[in-house]
């Protein structure tokens, strides 16, 4: 019989769902560096391994689960270490625009070495009284 694994920080048993969540988190941490500010801004830098539409889509799916009406306010994606061209770059921009549009936030894309300009998309909603 296999011994039950426990989380080393909480001593709680690790079930299959928790194990899957930990594996997904580890996968993303190897592909993205990120920071969050007290003001509700998120900053992401893609590592070379993170430079794919599939990896970006996975990250955005998780972020949608954590988002609400006030968070995140601004999302900055830095693709400095990536080389993406043509359709791939268009797909990345489209995914990010859809993500920020659904949240009502501001998006800043810092492109890599492919000659694209810095891109800003502001979808923040203005409060009305």
Q: What's the average model confidence in pLDDT over 5-18? A: 65
Is pTM beyond 0.85? Reply is no
Q: What is the pLDDT of residue 109?
A: 87
Token pair, residue 105, equals 């936030």
Which residue carries 């268009």 as its tokens?
A: 90
pLDDT for the residue 4: 54
The pLDDT tens digits of the residues spanning 42-100 come to 999 988 765 788 888 888 888 888 787 777 888 899 988 887 777 888 888 889 989 88
Instruction: Using CB atoms within 10 Å of the CB of residue 11, give its burial: 0 to 12 exposed, 13 to 18 middle, 19+ buried.
Output: exposed
Q: Which CATH architecture has domain 32-122?
A: 2-Layer Sandwich (3.30)
What mean pLDDT, rounded, does the chain reach? 79
Mean pLDDT, to the nearest integer, of 4-23?
68
Give the per-residue pLDDT at 76: 92
- Where in the chain are the domains? 32-122
Which residues, including other chains, have CB under 8 Å from residue 58's CB and lie 6 or more apart? 24, 27, 28
Average pLDDT over residues 13-39: 81
């Amino acid at each position: 019989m296999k011994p039950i694994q426990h989380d080393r920080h909480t001593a709680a048993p690790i079930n299959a769902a928790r194990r899957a969540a930990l594996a997904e988190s580890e996968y993303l941490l190897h592909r993205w560096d990120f920071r969050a500010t007290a003001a509700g801004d998120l900053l992401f830098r893609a590592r070379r391994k993170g430079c794919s539409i599939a990896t970006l889509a996975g990250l955005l799916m998780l972020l949608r689960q954590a988002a609400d009406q006030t968070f995140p306010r601004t999302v900055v994606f830095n693709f400095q270490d990536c080389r993406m061209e043509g359709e791939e770059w268009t797909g990345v921009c489209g995914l990010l625009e859809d993500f920020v549009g659904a949240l009502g936030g501001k998006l800043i894309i810092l492109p890599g070495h492919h000659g694209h300009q810095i891109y800003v998309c502001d979808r923040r909603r203005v409060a009305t009284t």
